[in-house]
A and B are shown apart, each in its own frame.
Chain A
């Protein structure tokens, strides 16, 4: 009941005209970038982050979160119409969605995707609302050793599932830790890795790294190829976009399956919406009365993965908001946004910033309704975005990246660093190093070092403090187990299979 009261206060925040406008802008932009193949939510949030510094934090978070979950809605459009997933999480939607489109049922497939996204997205927010407060209360008992162990566990999970090569994921993470360590040491004021440059004394701005690695790295990678795709005709009019009653009946279990699986996978760091959508599709096929029809254009083959990748968003917000531990590149950027606004996600966040937390939760309910209303009648219009030529889009991304970075510090040095990190992002894509561990290492590096050093100060340099406390010992044991998984052939085969299906 207590949560319900807070939620009502949250709605009072989310339903102000100003926040409604930012929520709408967020979900609209999210839908657009979800539709555009080659531009993900992480890159978009990173690019727009500097522009939100002038806003109040609640409105900024509402907009950035809107981009995050809005992109999940948009991702299905290209999967269904072109067999080209707008986001990696929409790969599974291609299997049956594109087949439905080929049978002349593109409208119904898009409609089912939107309805499944709405139901599961709302379920995800409900889960966030119910799980986050008790988890935050529990995490209040954490001290520095537990926090250090928790971050080790989170990073290990991300390294486990970030790419086919766990060595590369760990290397990327350590490069992130190194970049985070640049600047003046907070405990002793020693300057580290500054190469004698005064500009590096304050460290490297998060925005520079995130925009360089995600946005520029992505665009430079896309510049390698020039591909054209043919759009299938989308039926006009709302009626043809609504699925039949039989379709909805067939999707009953898929809506539930996608919601539950998506939320649970979302809470786990590293797993992400791609894996959630594959698992829910697998479950749907396993329990179906007609598994042989999957892949030929069955509506539940669209509903389950689309639901899962939307419910995952709510799940991913749980560790981010209650523990301050992001589980993916996108949530790492959201964490950085909180830090830049002077907020500290963690156990005290709900207690200290109830307006922001409950305003965000309420805005996610509102945003899901907006997305349903936007997506059902406007899908044909959104699909026209695909006609935007790459030669118009890519210079725009370069421009907004430069302006974004420059607006944060006004320093040309940061713009040079942006070019350097753009090249790094491209090289990582090219050599198949995952970028999420680098960003997570960068975001968590400083906090992790602080937690480790505080722990060792408590024990006067005795490392056993990390394993002497049951909670931190358990988390470190789990982290070690995860890191050792590739040494066991069977466990590694399972890991590689999960990633291969998801990539």
Chain B
């Protein structure tokens, strides 16, 4: 359990897994052919490097106590909530289009995460969406992702 709270150890384990994956994939491709190195040559070497370094990181940090949490779980929660909102916004792009999806994302950030009054959040969301439309669609002629509603 103690090791799972150690960010260095966990990230080292994830990267070690990535190293193993790269080596296994590279193993299936030609390493050295008659014309020189094949597609497996370079990935095999950085895969090995990744594995060796990540295991070193794990070994070094397995012995150390996890660093004290400086920013707290609340901060991490806010960051993850923002990221989840971004994911929802991306998922909604195909259906609702950029204007509506971006307005909802802004509304969530301003009202829920920054605890601003609903009226203000709505104004920021609407103003932002209109601003993006005018700047990109109208002024720069860059098409914004459109949804099923056609905008």
Candidates B32, B37, B79, B93; contact of A452 at CB < 8 Å: B37
The answer to whether A171 and B50 touch (CB under 8 A), given A178-B18, A181-B43, A456-B37, is yes
A187 to B8, CA, bound (A): 37
**Given A412-B93, A415-B93, A457-B35, A225 contacting B75 (CB threshold 8 A):** yes
Whether A167 contacts B57 in the complex (CB less than 8 A), given A192-B25, A402-B98, comes out as yes
Contacts A396-B128, A415-B90, A457-B36; A171 near B57 (Cβ below 8 A) = yes
Q: How far is the CB of B89 from chain A (nearest CB, A)?
A: 7
Contact B32 A461 (CB under 8 A): yes
Residue A390 at the chain B interface, CB threshold 8 Å = yes
A285 within 8 A of B: no
Question: Does A403 contact B37, Cβ atoms closer than 8 Å?
Answer: no
A341 adjacent to chain B (CB < 8 Å)? no
Q: Within B41-59, which residues are at the interface with A (CB < 8 Å)? A: 41-43, 46-47, 49-50, 53-54, 56-57
Q: Are B83 and A402 in contact (CB under 8 A)?
A: no
One of A67-75, A96-104, A216-224, A303-311 at the interface: A216-224
User: Nearest Cβ distance between residue B24 and chain A, in whole angstroms?
Assistant: 11
CA distance A415 to B92 in the complex (A): 11
Complex interface: chain B residues within 8 A of A418 (CB): 90
Q: Which single member of B46, B83, B145 contacts A178 (CB below 8 Å)? A: B46
Interfacial chain B residues near A165, Cβ < 8 Å: 57
Decide: A395 near B124, CB < 8 A? Known: A226-B114, A430-B76.
Answer: yes
Give every chain B residue within 8 A of A225 (Cβ-Cβ): 71, 75
Q: Count A/B pairs, Cβ under 8 Å.
A: 163
Complex Cα distance, B25 from A190, in Å, reads 12
Q: Are B71 and A223 in contact (CB under 8 A)?
A: no
| Given A174-B50, A415-B145, A453-B36: A167 and B78 interface contact (C-beta under 8 Å) | no
- The answer to whether the Cβ of B109 comes within 8 Å of any Cβ in the partner chain is yes
Minimum C-beta distance from A410 to chain B (A): 8
Please give, as numbers and ranges, the residues of chain A lying within 8 Å of B125 by CB-CB distance: 395
Q: Which of A167, A216, A221, A423 has the most CB of B within 10 A?
A: A167
Which size bracket describes the interface of A in this complex?
A: 35 or more
Residues of chain A within 8 A of B42, CB atoms compared:
177, 181, 448-449, 452-453
> Cβ of B90 and Cβ of A175 under 8 Å apart?
no
Find chain A residues with CB under 8 A from B25 CB. 192-193
Contact B7 A430 (CB under 8 A): yes
Contact between B57 and A412, CB atoms less than 8 A apart? no
Contacts of B144 in A (CB 8 A): 403, 406
Known contacts being A403-B144, A431-B11, is A187 close to B39, with CB within 8 Å? yes
Interface digits, A439-469 against B, CB 8 Å rule (1 contact, 0 not)?
Answer: 0000000001100110011001100000000
A496 to B71, CA, bound (A): 23
Chain A residue nearest to B85 (CB atoms) is A398
> Closest Cβ of chain A: how far from B58's Cβ, in Å?
10
Distance from B128 Cβ to chain A, minimum over Cβ atoms (Å)? 6
State how many angstroms separate the Cβ of A187 from the closest Cβ of chain B: 7
Q: Determine how close the nearest CB of chain B comes to the CB of A29; give it in whole angstroms.
A: 14
Are the C-beta atoms of B86 and A419 separated by less than 8 Å? Answer: yes
A422 contacts partner chain B, Cβ-Cβ < 8 Å: yes
Name the 8 nearest CB pairs between A and B, nearest first. A224-B75, A457-B36, A391-B114, A395-B106, A185-B39, A190-B39, A449-B42, A174-B50
Provide a sorted-by-A list of 26 A–B residue pairs whose CB atoms are within 8 angstroms: A167-B60, A170-B53, A171-B50, A174-B53, A175-B18, A177-B42, A178-B22, A188-B30, A193-B25, A224-B71, A390-B114, A391-B114, A391-B116, A392-B124, A398-B109, A402-B98, A402-B145, A406-B144, A412-B94, A415-B90, A418-B90, A419-B87, A430-B7, A430-B76, A452-B41, A461-B32
